[in-house]
Every structure is written in C-alpha cells, then in structure tokens.
Amino acid sequence: MKAFSARFSDILLTAIAPISWGTTYAVATEFLPAGHPLLVASMRSLPIGILLTIGLRKLPKGVWWWRMLILGGLNIGVFQALLFVAAYRLPGGVAATTGSIQPLLVGFFAWSLLGRRPSWLSVVAAIAGFIGVGLLVLGPEAQLDAIGIIAALAGAVAMGLGTVLVKKWQPPVSLIVFTAWQLAIGGLLLLPVALITEGPFVEITRTNLWGFIYLGLIGTALAYALWFRGIGKLTATAAAYLGLLSPVVATLIGYFFLQETLSIVQTTGIAVVLVSVLIGQQSQTES
C-alpha cells in the first residue's frame, strides 16, 4: 500500500510538468512578444538557469561537461527550437499530433539504451495516445508542410532521446543543480540562433514581464525539475505517457478561457488520451 501511494504521488508530481507545458501556447499568444519564438524559447530557460547555477555555486565536472551539452541541447535547446519551427509552419493540431509519437520513441530508445523491452500493452497505450491526440486537435482545415512535419518529428526524437539519457546517466548532483545546468546550457545554445534569425526584442511591456516570470519559474524551472525527478522515480516510458496531457490542457484552456469550441470528436479524443495515459502507467507497473 505504501509503495502504491509513493508511486501515485510520483505520477501526480511528474504530471504537473506536461500540464504546465500545456499552458505555454496561451501564455505565449496572450502575454509574450510576438514574432520572436526562438528568442522567447531561449529566454524562458536561460535567465533562470544562470541564476540558479550562480546561486548554487556548482558546475559540472569531468565527463558531465559533455553529457550536459548533450542533455541541455536535446531537452532544452534543440527541442525548443524545433518545437517553435513546427508551430510556425504547421497548425497547432498537426504539430501536437506529430509530437505525440514521443511515447513510442521513448519505448524504442529505452529498449535500445536501457535494455527495457516495451510490453505489448505499452505499445497499445502509445498508439491509443497518438490517435487520441489526433482526435483532440486535428480538424478538416489541417495543412501539412514537409519542413514542419520533419521539425515536429525531430523535436519528439530529441526530447525522447534526452529523456532516456537522463534515466541512463543518473546525475551525481541534486535535482535542482541538474535542472539548472540543463536550462542554462540549453538556453545558451539557442540564444545565438535566435538573435541571428530574429534579432532582439523591440519592446518589453509589463504584461510581457509577467508572462516571462510565469513561463520561467512555473512553465520551465518547476516543470523541468519535476519532469527530471519523475524520470528518476518512474520509468522513462511512464513519464513519456504523461506528456500526452499537454495537448489536453492546451485544448481545455482554449475552451474555458479563449472562447474556443470543443466538439464531440475532441471530447472523445480527451477521453482516449486519458485512458491511454492510465493504461501506459499500468503497463509500466507490470513490466
């Protein structure tokens, strides 16, 4: 009973990360400067990462320098850049559906790098989650763009591989230090690309500042800390299933706060996603 309670708490805490990521679209469109997606992606992680690293007064040592370049690059820099490229070139529904293939990718990487073969139930849950997100966000107006599709798939690969590598390497420092390193390095890698392609912000309003504060503290620092904690406590694949909650939250925020509609098909998609998440967690318990 105690083990079940501990696992349930770990699942709930880990779920806070994708739930908070689901608020990113609304925050970005309503509170943050327009026309600078890559710079916004860098600024959501770089300031808080540097501040935490300075405050904690701890830097990587030895092999962890190149490991942090890989992890920070995959989980923060590359993932965020590709995420925004996909968002700009694809309707949000297509991007979200393409990205929802991540549980399948994490299962493959976990098999390859950790020797953890996925069960048939976990594969079924991943496919069901993919279909559920498709029902949730795809519409007849969806347009396909080759570069956008490639970016969305590559982003899912980057985050999936980064998730499994976090589990494989098991950082020798505290969770907050580990999170700070990745945020700082990922943001630094992304910053020059953003400045070259987009240029600096022209104006920062008080509303923009509040948006950056929320996105930096809640949507990035807290979310990634809980995500990396969850990878350590759960299996990498179990954490990946929880990522399917992000488009569900984004859809519900649009319905309740942005006057967007919610059809019967979308409601069915939400139900399918939630069931797939539950099945995914059960499959990891039994495997």
pLDDT number for residue 96: 61
- Cα–Cα distance measured from residue 166 to residue 186, given in angstroms and rounded to the nearest whole number: 15
For every residue of 222-241, DSSP letters joined together read: IHHHHHHHHHHHS-HHHHHH
Site of tokens 């539950």: 278
Q: Does residue 173 come out as left (phi exceeding 0), alpha (psi in the -120 to 50 range) or beta? A: beta
**What's residue 5's pLDDT?**
84
Phi, psi of 23 (to 5 degrees): -85, -10
Domain assignment present for 67: yes
The total number of structural domains that make up the chain: 1
Q: Is residue 3 part of a domain?
A: no
DSSP 103: H
Residue 6 in any domain: the answer is: no
Give the dihedral of Cα atoms 236, 128, 274, 149; nearest 10 deg. 70
pTM: predicted TM-score of the whole model, two decimal places: 0.87
Which parts of the chain register pLDDT below 50?
none
Q: Read off the tokens for 251.
A: 């859809």
Contact between 166 and 215 (Cβ < 8 Å): no
Q: Provide DSSP, 194-260.
A: HHHHH---S---HHHHHHHHHHHIIIIIIHHHHHHHHHHHS-HHHHHHHTTHHHHHHHHHHHHHS--
The answer as to whether 175 is a domain residue is: yes
What are the pLDDT digits (tens) for 181-195?
999 999 999 999 999
Q: Which domain does 159 fall in, by range?
A: 11-286
pLDDT at 236: 86
Which residue is associated with the tokens 């920062």? Answer: 204
d(CA 68, CA 53): 13
Q: Is 4 domain-assigned?
A: no
| Domain annotation covers residue 217 | yes
Using an 8 Å Cβ cutoff, are 203 and 271 in contact? no
5 part of a folded domain: no
Flag whether 162 is in a domain.
Answer: yes
Q: What residue type is 278 in one-letter code?
A: L
pLDDT at 261: 75
Rg of the chain taking only CA atoms, in angstroms? 18
32-58 pLDDT tens trace: 888 888 898 899 899 999 999 999 999
